[in-house]
């Protein structure tokens, strides 16, 4: 959660040379899932063009905040369910981002859209591909109909299994699948079957993550009332390990706690977040990160409510005032860099960390590192700090040791 602090997010010069990304939040959904804590809007009629106009205005208004940055490497449409956005409207926003940040990477720009099974067909997917979208993230979550009902999903297992072949038919050769474990009522065998079924479709990327119960959700209320019967921690660990073993055996290497990819298909956009490089978030509730050349950074977010966001856009063509403004100190960013880096399989490079933050990642943390090493969770050498295969399960605990 960002801490609200007053300040001018345009203050200071952007750190030069870093690659950057644009995140576009599309809040509209057919239904709200009981585990979802994102800003979503389930109104009956989606204002496709009005929302696209608002986002395009915001991109233009905030472009100067990122002057002096490096090449644009990623545009990510998340939500909500951006697969519901009419492709011509989405395409206008995509083009606005691409034209505004003309410093496009020499290699192909990664342009991702999240879609849900049962809500897109081959024709819509082909239209997205024609717009320039070159990567899909499919929200499968589970492949047992009873578990999909538990999760509040409005698609069936059959629709999920049909979505990836439809994406192939539409011309996509970079497809990611989201899977969830630790779901109420889910067994280890359920999870293994789901992973095997997804692997039979040969995706380039899989995000396999444990259900997190957020306080402000329907699952959160049910959990507080004692009515949410989830697998116990030992079973969740078994699911994690079974998934990792199967995915890696199929050629999808783990590169972050919850992320697996074939060679050449690691998600560029997520790596921007993990490496604390700049990104502009546009749309209702979207967050941005603007690192400065003095070692500090600004974090800020848009209003969460869709109507507030759209009203600002209507008010003379302006973009919304940012909320939740936070100036991050250099020491804060150094801590974040270590925590985020340890969640990746590559770990934290000591030379690069020292060059960027002015301190070795071990400095002042020797006792914690020794404790984590003795537990078999961390390896330390002259080049880097890296969690072990077992330690990946305890990334948050290791981080807590480092900052206790």
CB 258 within 8 A of CB 395: no
Quick check: 135 and 176 in contact, CB under 8 A? yes
According to the model, what pLDDT value does residue 141 have? Answer: 97
Cα–Cα distances in Å, from 14 out to 10, 75, 283, 293, 297? 9, 19, 22, 6, 9
Predicted pLDDT at 316 = 64
> CA nearest 180: which of 160, 195, 165?
195
**b/e per residue, 370-404, with b = 16+ CB within 10 A?**
eebeeeebbebeeebbbbeeebbbbbeebbebbee
* Rounded distance between C-alpha atoms, residue 33 and residue 38, angstroms: 10
- CATH 3.20.20.70 boundaries in the chain: 20-274
| d(C-alpha 360, C-alpha 350), whole Å | 6
Question: CATH classification of 20-274, choosing from 3.20.20.70, 1.10.3720.10, 3.40.640.10, 3.40.50.720?
Answer: 3.20.20.70
Question: What does each C-alpha distance from 324 to 61, 220, 307 come to in angstroms?
Answer: 19, 24, 18
Instruction: Give me the pLDDT at residue 6, please.
Output: 53
Local mean pLDDT, 10-residue blocks, the chain (404 residues): 61 92 96 90 94 95 91 95 97 95 80 97 97 97 96 96 97 98 97 98 97 93 92 96 98 97 96 96 96 95 93 77 90 94 96 95 94 96 96 91 81
Q: Where in the chain is the domain with CATH 1.10.10.920?
A: 331-403
Q: Measured on CA atoms in the order 241, 205, 265, 395, is the torsion positive or negative?
A: negative
Global pTM value: 0.95
Pairing status of strand 110-115 against strand 135-141: parallel
Q: What pLDDT is stored for residue 318 in this prediction?
A: 66
CA distances from 279 to 45, 338, 352 (A): 30, 19, 21
Element (H, E) at 20: strand 20-26
- Residues 191/239, Cβ–Cβ less than 8 Å: yes
In the chain, what is the straight-line distance between the N-terminal and C-terminal CA atoms, in Å? Answer: 20
pLDDT at res. 51: 96
How high is the pLDDT of residue 370? 96
Position 148 scores a pLDDT of: 97
Closest CA to 383 of 399, 360, 359: 360
Could you please state the CATH topology (level 3) that the domain comprising 331-403 is classified under.
Answer: Arc Repressor Mutant, subunit A (1.10.10)
Query: Sign of the C-alpha dihedral, residues 196, 154, 126, 259?
Result: negative
């Amino acid at each position: 959660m960002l801490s609200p602090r007053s300040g001018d997010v345009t203050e200071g010069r952007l750190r030069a040379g870093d690659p950057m990304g644009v995140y576009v939040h599309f809040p509209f959904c057919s239904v709200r899932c009981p585990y979802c804590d994102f800003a979503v809007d389930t109104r009956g009629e989606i204002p496709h063009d009005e929302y696209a106009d608002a986002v395009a205005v915001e991109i233009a208004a905030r472009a100067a905040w990122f002057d002096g940055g490096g090449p644009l490497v990623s545009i990510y449409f998340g939500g909500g369910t951006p697969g519901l956005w009419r492709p011509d409207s989405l395409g206008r926003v995509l083009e606005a981002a691409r034209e505004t940040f003309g410093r496009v990477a020499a290699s192909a720009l990664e342009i991702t859209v999240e879609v849900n099974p049962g809500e897109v067909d081959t024709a819509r997917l082909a239209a997205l591909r024609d717009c320039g979208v070159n990567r899909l993230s499919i929200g499968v979550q589970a492949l047992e109909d009873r578990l999909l009902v538990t999760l509040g999903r409005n698609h069936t297992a059959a629709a999920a299994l049909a979505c990836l072949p439809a994406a192939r038919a539409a011309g996509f050769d970079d497809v990611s699948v989201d899977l969830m474990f630790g779901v109420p009522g889910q067994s280890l065998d359920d999870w293994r079957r789901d992973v095997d079924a997804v692997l039979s479709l040969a995706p380039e990327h899989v995000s396999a993550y444990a259900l997190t119960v957020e306080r402000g959700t329907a699952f959160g209320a049910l959990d507080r009332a004692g009515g949410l019967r989830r697998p116990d921690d030992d079973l969740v660990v078994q699911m994690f390990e079974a998934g990792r073993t199967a995915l890696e055996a199929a050629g999808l290497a783990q590169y972050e706690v919850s992320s697996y990819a074939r060679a050449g298909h690691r998600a560029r956009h997520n790596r921007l977040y993990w490496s604390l490089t700049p990104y502009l978030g546009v749309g209702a509730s979207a967050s941005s990160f603007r690192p400065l050349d003095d070692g500090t950074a600004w974090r800020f977010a848009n209003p969460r409510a869709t109507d507030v966001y759209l009203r600002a856009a209507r008010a003379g063509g302006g973009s919304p005032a940012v909320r939740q403004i936070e100036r991050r100190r250099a020491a804060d960013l150094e801590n974040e860099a270590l925590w985020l880096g340890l969640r990746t399989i590559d770990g934290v490079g000591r030379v690069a960390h020292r060059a960027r933050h002015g301190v070795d990642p071990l400095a002042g943390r020797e006792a914690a590192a020794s404790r984590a090493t003795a537990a078999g969770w961390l390896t330390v050498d002259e080049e880097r700090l890296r969690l072990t295969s077992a330690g990946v399960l305890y990334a948050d605990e290791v981080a807590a040791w480092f900052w206790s």
